[in-house]
Amino acid sequence: MQRQGQLGPDGTPESAERPVRQPPNRAQAARTTGAPPRPPLTTRVVSGVKDVRGELRKVAWGTRDEVVNYTTIVLVTLVILVSFVFLLNLGFSRAIKALFGL
């Protein structure tokens, strides 16, 4: 604890007060670091929307037949899994009722 500054050389507790660090103001931080100022919010939003549209143009979209096939597979799988969980729930609930005589 002495190395951390909590104890003095004679073993007594040190009560040196630490200075409170103030968070930097964004404008002051930009001026002191030499960073360019941030553009206005509307400019950043418009730029973000343009970037998203550009990325969506690069996406390889599936054909209508592929989408229908994949949707059918997902729905069938969903029905099978929901039925399985329903049957497990039904079986366990009947077993608990039989066990406790309800």
Same structural domain for residues 50 and 82? no
Q: Domains in the chain: how many in total?
A: 2
Asked if residue 13 belongs to a domain, the reply is no
Which tens digits make up the pLDDT trace of 77-89?
999 999 999 999 9
Same structural domain for residues 68 and 101? yes
Range of the domain at 31: 26-59
Asked if residue 2 belongs to a domain, the reply is no
Residues 41 and 49: beta-carbon distance below 8 Å: no
Cα→Cα distances 59→8, 52, 53, 71, 74, Å:
65, 11, 10, 19, 21
> Is the full-model pTM beyond 0.85?
no
Same structural domain for residues 30 and 51? yes
Place of tokens 């899994």: 81
Same structural domain for residues 83 and 100? yes
Which tens digits make up the pLDDT trace of 27-74?
666 566 667 888 899 999 999 999 999 999 999 999 999 999 999 999
